[in-house]
C-alpha cells in the first residue's frame, strides 16, 4: 500500500486513475454477453451486429483510458523535466545484489511475460480468423502488420511517456491499455480486430525499453549486462510459452477469441504487480521527493549526482565519426535484428497456421509449440551465463548459430514432409530469444557515447522492420512455403553471423569510455 501511495501521490488525481481503471474494466465486461451468446455457434461472431451495450462499452474504454492517463499525469511538468535533465542515478560498480534487486528482476520478468504474450498470441489466432472470416491469408496478415506498426509507434511514444510519467506509472498505463484491447475477442468484424491490434501493439511496444531503463538505473554496473539478458530472455520465452499453452488449453474449448479476452485478467494482474515495482529514484528526485528517493536508492545501493551541461558533453563529440569497424558493427547488428524480426514475426508467427494446414488440430499444434518453448526455457540462463562469464560477442554469435540450425531443421522438415516440429521450433525459439535478449544490451555496449542512443534505437527499429517486411510480403500476395521462407531467411542470418564474428567487439569487463 505504501508503494501504491508513493506512485499515485503528486499526480493530477488519484481518483481519476482508479475511475479510469474501473471504466475500462466495465467497458470490457460489456462485451462478454455477446461472446457468451455465441456459444451455440462455436463462438463465431463474424457478421453479427454490435448492440448498444458493446458500443457503450467501447466508449467507456476510450474514456477510461484517457481519464486514467490524466490521473497519472504528474503536476508541474516543466519543473520536473528541467530538474531531470541534470540528474544521473546509478548503482556503484561493485555493489552486491540484494533481495531488492532479485525481487525487481522477478516482477519485471512476469511483466514482460504478460507483455510478450500479447503479440505472441497473434500466430495462434490466425487459423481461426482465416476460417471464421472466410478471407485469404494475405488479408488476415493486416492484423499482425498493424500490430507491429503499433509496436513501432509505441516504442517511440513510450520513451517520452516514461520520462514524463515515471517508469512505474508508464507500466501501469500500459496495463490499462492491455485491459482495453481484450475486446478484440468480441469484435464481429476483421476491421475492428485490426484497429484494436494496433492499440495492443502501441501498449506493448514501450514495455521492453521502459523495463531496460528501470533495470539500468537500479542494477550495479557489473551485473547489468547479464541481468538485462536474463530478464529479457525469460520474458520472451515465457511469453511465447504462455501464449502457446493458453492456446493448447483454451482454444479447443472457446475458439481463437479467448486468447484476446485473456488480456482482461492478465492486464489487471499487471496493474496489481505495479505495487511491487519501485518508483524511479530519478523521477522522485526531479519531483523534489528527496526522502522517498533516498529510501529507494538505499534499497538498491544506488547513488545520485547532478551534472552540468558542460560535464554532459563529451570532449570528443566534435570529432567526425568514421571507421569501417564502427559501421561494420552497425551493419552486423542491424542485419541480425532484421533477421530476428523476419523469423519471429514471419516464420514463427505463421507456423501454427502451417501446422494446421498439414492436418494437425489447433490443440495439438499449440501443444507442440508449447513443448518447444518449454525446452527452450532453461537456455535463457545459459545465454545470460555466456554473456556475463564467457564473451558478449561470441554469446551473440552462438545464438545466431543456434537459429541457423533451427532454420536448417525447418527446411529439412518441409523437404521430408513428415516428422515432429518440436526440435526445429525449440532451436528457433532458443536462438531467436537468445538474440533478442542479447542484441540490444550488446548494441548499447558497442558504440561510442555520442551515437550510442541512436545506434541502439536503430537496431531496435530493425527488429520491428523485419516483421513489417515479412507481413508486407504476405499482404502483397507473395505466398511462400515454410521451407522456402526458412531458406531465404537463412541468407541474412548467416550474413549476420559472419559480420558479428568479423566486426563484433568484446565488451565484457571493458570500460565503455574507451570507445570514445
- For the stretch 424-466, pLDDT in tens is 888 887 888 788 878 877 887 777 766 665 677 688 778 878 8
Q: Is 418 exposed, middle or buried (0-12, 13-18, 19+ CB in 10 A)?
A: exposed
Phi first, then psi: give them for residue 89, nearest 5 degrees.
Answer: -115, 130
Please check whether residue 470 is in contact with residue 346, taking contact to mean a CB–CB distance below 8 angstroms. yes
Give residue 508's pLDDT band: very low, low, confident or very high (50, 70, 90).
confident
Residue 392 contacts by C-beta under 8 Å, 6 or more apart in sequence?
A: 225, 438, 442, 445, 506, 507, 508
Please check whether residue 57 is in contact with residue 30, taking contact to mean a CB–CB distance below 8 angstroms. yes
Please write the tens of the pLDDT for every residue from 224-251.
778 878 887 788 778 888 888 888 888 8
Q: What is the mean pLDDT of the chain?
A: 79
E strands in 295-385: 303-306
Q: Which pLDDT value is given to residue 389?
A: 84
Q: Which pLDDT value is given to residue 85?
A: 61
Alpha carbon distance 227, 243 (integer Å): 24
Give residue 309's pLDDT band: very low, low, confident or very high (50, 70, 90).
very low
Please indicate whether residue 494 or residue 300 has the higher confidence score (pLDDT): 494
Whether 390 has a pLDDT exceeding 80, the answer reads yes
Q: How far is C-alpha 307 from the geometric centre of its chain's CA atoms? A: 32
Alpha carbon distance 80, 272 (integer Å): 26
Q: How far is C-alpha 51 from the geometric centre of its chain's CA atoms? A: 34
Under DSSP, the state recorded for 306 is E
Whether 312 has a pLDDT exceeding 50, the answer reads no
Please indicate whether residue 158 or residue 147 has the higher confidence score (pLDDT): 147
Whether 1 has a pLDDT exceeding 50, the answer reads no
Whether 478 has a pLDDT exceeding 90, the answer reads no
Please check whether residue 3 is in contact with residue 275, taking contact to mean a CB–CB distance below 8 angstroms. yes
Q: Is 405 exposed, middle or buried (0-12, 13-18, 19+ CB in 10 A)?
A: middle
Mean pLDDT score, 4-24:
76
Alpha carbon distance 170, 174 (integer Å): 6
Amino acid at each position: 500500500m505504501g508503494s501504491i501511495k508513493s506512485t499515485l501521490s503528486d499526480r493530477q488525481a488519484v481518483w481519476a486513475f482508479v475511475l479510469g481503471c474501473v471504466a475500462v474494466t466495465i467497458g470490457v465486461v460489456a462485451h462478454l454477453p455477446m461472446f457468451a451468446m455465441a456459444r451455440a455457434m462455436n463462438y463465431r461472431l463474424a457478421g453479427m451486429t454490435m448492440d448498444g451495450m458493446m458500443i457503450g462499452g467501447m466508449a467507456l474504454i476510450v474514456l477510461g483510458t484517457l481519464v486514467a492517463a490524466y490521473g497519472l499525469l504528474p503536476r508541474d511538468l516543466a519543473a520536473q523535466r528541467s530538474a531531470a535533465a541534470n540528474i544521473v542515478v546509478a548503482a556503484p560498480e561493485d555493489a552486491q545484489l540484494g533481495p531488492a534487486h532479485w525481487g525487481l528482476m522477478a516482477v519485471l520478468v512476469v511483466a514482460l511475460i504478460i507483455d510478450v504474450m500479447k503479440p505472441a498470441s497473434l500466430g495462434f489466432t490466425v487459423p481461426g480468423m482465416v476460417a471464421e472470416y472466410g478471407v485469404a491469408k494475405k488479408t488476415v496478415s493486416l492484423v499482425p502488420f498493424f500490430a507491429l506498426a503499433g509496436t513501432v509507434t509505441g516504442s517511440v511514444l513510450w520513451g517520452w511517456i516514461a520520462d514524463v510519467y515515471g517508469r512505474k506509472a508508464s507500466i501501469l498505463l500500459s496495463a490499462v491499455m492491455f485491459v482495453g484491447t481484450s475486446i478484440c475477442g468480441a469484435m464481429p468484424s476483421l476491421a475492428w480486430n485490426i484497429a484494436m491490434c494496433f492499440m495492443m501493439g502501441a501498449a506493448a511496444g514501450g514495455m521492453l525499453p521502459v523495463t531496460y531503463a528501470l533495470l539500468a538505473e537500479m542494477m550495479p554496473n557489473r551485473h547489468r549486462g547479464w541481468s538485462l539478458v536474463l530478464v529479457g530472455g525469460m520474458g520472451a520465452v515465457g511469453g511465447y510459452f504462455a501464449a502457446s499453452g493458453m492456446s493448447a488449453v483454451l482454444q479447443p474449448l472457446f475458439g481463437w477469441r479467448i486468447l484476446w479476452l485473456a488480456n482482461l485478467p492478465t492486464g489487471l494482474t499487471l496493474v496489481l504487480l505495479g505495487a511491487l515495482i519501485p518508483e524511479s529514484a530519478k523521477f522522485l528526485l526531479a519531483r523534489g521527493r528527496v526522502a522517498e528517493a533516498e529510501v529507494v536508492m538505499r534499497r538498491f545501493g544506488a547513488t545520485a549526482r547532478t551534472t552540468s551541461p558542460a560535464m554532459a558533453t563529451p570532449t570528443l563529440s566534435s570529432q567526425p565519426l568514421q571507421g569501417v569497424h564502427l559501421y561494420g558493427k552497425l551493419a552486423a547488428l542491424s542485419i541480425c535484428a532484421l533477421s530476428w524480426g523476419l523469423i519471429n514475426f514471419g516464420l514463427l508467427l505463421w507456423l501454427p497456421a502451417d501446422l494446421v494446414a498439414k492436418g494437425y488440430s489447433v490443440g495439438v499444434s499449440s501443444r507442440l509449440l508449447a513443448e518447444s518453448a518449454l525446452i527452450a526455457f532453461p537456455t535463457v540462463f545459459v545465454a545470460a551465463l555466456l554473456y556475463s562469464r564467457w564473451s558478449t560477442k561470441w554469446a551473440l554469435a552462438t545464438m545466431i548459430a543456434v537459429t541457423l540450425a533451427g532454420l536448417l531443421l525447418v527446411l529439412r522438415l518441409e523437404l521430408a514432409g513428415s516428422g515432429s516440429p518440436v526440435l526445429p521450433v525449440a532451436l528457433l525459439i532458443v536462438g531467436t530469444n537468445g538474440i533478442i535478449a542479447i542484441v540490444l544490451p550488446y548494441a548499447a555496449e558497442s558504440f561510442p557515447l555520442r551515437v550510442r542512443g541512436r545506434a541502439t534505437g536503430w537496431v531496435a527499429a530493425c527488429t520491428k522492420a523485419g516483421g513489417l517486411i515479412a507481413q508486407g510480403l504476405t499482404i502483397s500476395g507473395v505466398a511462400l512455403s515454410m521451407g522456402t521462407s526458412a531458406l531465404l531467411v537463412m541468407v541474412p542470418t548467416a550474413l549476420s553471423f559472419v559480420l558479428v564474428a568479423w566486426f563484433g567487439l568484446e565488451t565484457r569487463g571493458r570500460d565503455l569510455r574507451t570507445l570514445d
